[in-house]
Amino acid sequence: MDSLINETLEKIKEQNIKPEPRWKYLLRKYAKWILFLVVLALASSAFLAGYANVSSLDWSLYRFAQQNKILYTLSLVPYFWLILLAIFLGAAFFEIRKTELGYRYSRNRILFLTIAGFIFFGVSGIFFGIGHWFNTGLSQNFPAYSHSLMMTKETQWMQPQSGFLSGTIKSVNNENVSLEDFSGHDWNVAVDEKTLVRPAVDLATENQIKIIGTQKTANDFSATEIRPWNGNGMGRGMQGGGMNRDEVSGGGVDEEEMPSGGGMMRGR
């Protein structure tokens, strides 16, 4: 057996075999930790994007859509982001196990590290507006995101056959609003004295609005309620879309609690 040791030493010398430099090992070691952190950052981003999506939706429209509240709520859950969140959290668990001494960590320790990292990236993500960036970026650049993967604010308010329409005002006259929806289709929206126009709505050209009503023909829509694009329209001074929904809903007025006279009837 001693010959094996001698042979091995000979081989090492003859072939000039050297120990691999330590920096290569450290690079591999830290790469695993960086991968863990990247996966955690993605998990936090998925959570924030899901939250941004959820907070932009109108959760009370089931009354107008004549749907069961629970089924309607389930249809708005951001499953796409929830699935990604679960995948990234699972990957984070396995990534930490793959680190140098990861197999020694208890489940509690891994849970603590994962939650701590998740919160850290989550708070940083809120600061940089990551959730909103992901949500709007995907909505605008990947049509499949809002058409197939998610119920976004745009898709929620682009269902004329269900009574929900939105878009940009092109012109306004006494009984009609000419509207271009977000897919570029033109609509004649009939507005009469029974139409509830929320206080913050400014029916002026270029303003964006949401309408609840009934589709009459391929181009005609009858409005029963008009809201500004951002927010529920109960506050004041929101014209021009300068405030986002979060700021408005933070005012504490729930749409379901709104008295029927919360807006003003057109023509009164």
Partner 1 sequence: MQAENQKERTDTELIEAAKRNPEAFGFLMERYEKPLFHYIRRLSQSPKEDVEDLLQEVFIKIYQKLNEYDTALKFSSWAYRVAHNHVIDHFRRSSARPRTNVLEDSEWEKIIHSAMPESKRIENKDCAEKVRECIEELPFNYREVMILRFIEEKEYAEIMDILAKPKGTVAILLARGKERLKKELREKNINCF
Binding site for partner 1 (CB under 8 A): 1-2, 4-9, 11-13, 17-22, 25, 97, 100-101, 103-105
Q: Which among 197, 198, 196, 200 is positioned nearest to 237, based on CA atoms?
A: 200
Task: Between 19 and 242, name the residue whose CB sits nearer to partner 1.
Answer: 19
Task: Between 18 and 268, name the residue whose CB sits nearer to partner 1.
Answer: 18
Instruction: For the CB of residue 22, give the shortest distance to partner 1 in the complex, in Å.
Output: 4
Instruction: For the CB of residue 48, give the shortest distance to partner 1 in the complex, in Å.
Output: 31
Tokens describing residue 42: 């993605």
Q: Which residues contact 58 (CB under 8 A, 6 or more apart)?
A: 153, 156, 157, 232, 255
Task: Between 25 and 112, name the residue whose CB sits nearer to partner 1.
Answer: 25
Tokens describing residue 231: 């927010």
Instruction: For the CB of residue 114, give the shortest distance to partner 1 in the complex, in Å.
Output: 15
Pairing assessment for the beta strands 196-197 and 220-228 based on DSSP bridges:
parallel
Instruction: For the CB of residue 96, give the shortest distance to partner 1 in the complex, in Å.
Output: 11
Instruction: For the CB of residue 6, give the shortest distance to partner 1 in the complex, in Å.
Output: 8
